[in-house]
Amino acid sequence: MTPGDIVLIRFPQTDLQAGKLRPALVVAIAPGRHTDLLLALITSRTYQAIPKFDEIITPTDSDYATTGLKTRSFIRLARLTSVDPSIINARLGHISPERLRQIRKRLADWLKK
């Protein structure tokens, strides 16, 4: 796994219950001995998106074909989790390096507040 990959995982719920199999973006890999992955949930449910915060991926985007996603989707930047790479079910694809830079900047700006 590398940052920018889109993977399938049973994304943990906020109450720590097991979730459904969902796509997620690998935002970063933890430094050091434990190489946990920082993931952001991906959903196609438009009502869950936070305007001007979550990242929208549409079929007309230049990197859409490489994502492995089936429909317009939203990378939910406020829905983050850290997981061991061994629980990843599959790799679907990846986003462009430029999109990953924009997402990381948006997250960093949010965390600075």
For 98, left (φ over 0), alpha (ψ -120 to 50), or beta? alpha
pTM of the entire predicted model: 0.90
Nearest to 11 by CA among 32, 26, 29, 33: 26
| pLDDT 10s digits, 79-107 | 998 999 998 999 999 999 999 999 999 99
Structural domain boundaries enclosing 89:
5-112
Structure confidence at residue 13 (pLDDT) = 64
Q: Are 58 and 44 in contact (CB under 8 A)?
A: no
Mean pLDDT of 58-72: 96
The total of structural domains in the chain comes to 1
Mean pLDDT of 28-45: 92
Quick check: helix, strand or coil at residue 105? helix
DSSP strands (E only) in 1-113: 5-10, 21-29, 37-43, 55-57, 73-83, 90-94
Burial (CB < 10 A; 0-12, 13-18, 19+), residue 54, is: buried
CATH number at residue 86: 2.30.30.110
pLDDT at 18 over 70: no
